[in-house]
A = this chain, B = another copy of it.
Amino acid sequence: MFRRELTVRTTGRGFFELTNEVAAVVLSSAVADGLCNLFVPHTSASLLAGENWDASVRRDLEAFMGRLAPDGDPRYEHDAEGPDDMPAHIRSMLTQSSIVIPFAGGKLQLGTWQGIFLWEHRTTPHERRIIVTVW
């Protein structure tokens, strides 16, 4: 079992692609065939194994979430850290904080148009950790 921690300094809400960084961890593990777990120890950022070719898909995912869980909705009780606080928790709850991806021959078995993204749900920059475990 091989573990590395990735760090992403986000610039606010949006997607930060990690595909190359995760692929590099898998390669450096020297395991040929196995599985790779990603875990995000945060409750206002999450993971997406999603479309990585057309950025308009990610803009639409972002806009969809904005309509589903609007910032500053007066129905939220919790707003300790601002109008994007509770929406960030809702977005995290609706997406993934852990993913397990197979690899073979040292290569992640992602689809042709599939990339790995950290999804920052807060509007302000944050330092986010992604714990990568290969076995």
Contact = CB atoms under 8 A, between A and B. Distances in A.
Interface of A: 1, 3, 33-35, 37, 39, 41-43, 48-51, 54, 56-57, 59-61, 63-64, 67-69, 75-78, 80, 86, 89-90, 92-102, 104, 109-111, 113-114, 131, 133, 135
A57 B69 contact: no
A106 B2 CA distance: 16
Majority secondary structure of chain A interface residues (helix, strand, loop or mixed)? mixed
B57 A102 contact: no
Contacts of A67: 75
A132 to B, nearest CB: 9
18 contacts: A1-B33, A1-B35, A3-B102, A3-B104, A35-B133, A39-B100, A41-B109, A42-B111, A42-B114, A43-B51, A43-B113, A48-B93, A49-B97, A57-B89, A60-B89, A63-B77, A98-B100, A102-B133
